[in-house]
């Protein structure tokens, strides 16, 4: 009998989040009564097909346990092995997953801690689309706005947008492939798909949702707060 590959979520959570101007690492910024990352992890916990979720913390992190109390057990792991960049943190997380029994053929879904409006059904959509794919893929959205190329603060040309997509997360790849891709690409890559592309592969684009945006700036914190409160009210109703 062929052993089915397992699925793991990996959440890099070692950044400082300085652009969000929240006075602390942005993953711990309060939103609708919880830390940002707590919302993210709650969504992943509602995906039963995930074997476990690994959170990669900064080596000197002292806040996670206080902001996400009770996180732990067979399906919830937090390890302070993060690096100076996202790519380094993900690479270290892959090593930790291997140490905990994950194999090269198992799937890893890397998700931004700052995409805290994630819904379990979006993760399921990605899993369903990629489970039989030879490469893997990512949630993404076709670019709707006109795209400008800038030089010295001025628009110098308009780029065609028909073939442009904005990448989101989770991004889902086999552990072995992702490990090879990150080792080849180095620390400069900003997402896993670009590292996989550099090996000559073409990840599958799976349509995401507008709400699955990454919080970077203070205005986005406020928007996420409003959306979470609205979502909570609709669920109660």
Q: What span, in angstroms and rounded, lies between the C-alpha atoms of 43 and 67?
A: 16
pLDDT for the residue 235: 66
Q: Which fold has domain 7-139+167-236?
A: Spore Coat Polysaccharide Biosynthesis Protein SpsA; Chain A (3.90.550)
Q: What span, in angstroms and rounded, lies between the C-alpha atoms of 82 and 11?
A: 10
Q: List the chain residues with pLDDT less than 50.
A: 19-21
The 10s digit of each residue's pLDDT in 50-60 is: 999 999 999 99
User: Two tokens at 89?
Assistant: 């943190």
**Cβ–Cβ contacts within 10 Å for residue 134, how many?**
10
pLDDT for the residue 20: 46
Count CA atoms within 13 Å of residue 46 on its CB side: 11
pLDDT for the residue 2: 62
pLDDT for the residue 168: 98
User: Two tokens at 7?
Assistant: 């699925």
pLDDT for the residue 24: 76
Q: What stretches of the chain adopt beta strand conformation (E)?
A: 7-13, 30-31, 34-35, 52-57, 76-79, 107-110, 136-142, 147-151, 154-159, 165-174, 204-207
């Amino acid at each position: 009998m062929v052993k089915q590959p397992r699925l793991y979520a990996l959440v890099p959570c070692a950044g400082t989040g300085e652009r969000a101007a929240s006075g602390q690492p942005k993953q711990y910024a309060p939103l609708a009564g919880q830390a940002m990352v707590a919302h993210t992890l709650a969504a992943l916990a509602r995906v039963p097909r995930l074997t476990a979720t690994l959170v990669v913390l900064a080596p000197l992190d002292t806040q996670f346990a206080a902001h996400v109390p009770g996180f732990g057990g067979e399906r919830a792991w937090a390890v302070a092995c993060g690096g100076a960049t996202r790519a380094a943190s993900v690479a270290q997380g892959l090593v930790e997953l291997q140490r905990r029994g994950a194999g090269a053929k198992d799937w890893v879904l890397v998700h931004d801690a700052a995409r805290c409006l994630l819904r379990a059904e979006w993760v399921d959509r990605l899993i369903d689309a990629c489970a039989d794919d030879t490469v893997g893929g990512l949630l993404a959205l076709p670019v709707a706005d006109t795209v400008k190329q800038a030089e010295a603060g001025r628009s110098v040309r308009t780029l065609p947008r028909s073939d442009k997509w904005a990448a989101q997360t989770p991004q889902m790849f086999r552990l072995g492939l992702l490990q090879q891709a990150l080792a080849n690409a180095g620390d400069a890559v900003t997402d896993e798909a670009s590292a996989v592309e550099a090996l000559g592969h073409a990840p599958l684009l799976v349509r995401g949702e507008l709400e699955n945006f990454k919080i970077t700036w203070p205005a986005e914190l406020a928007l996420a707060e409003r959306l979470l409160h609205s979502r909570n009210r609709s669920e109660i109703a």
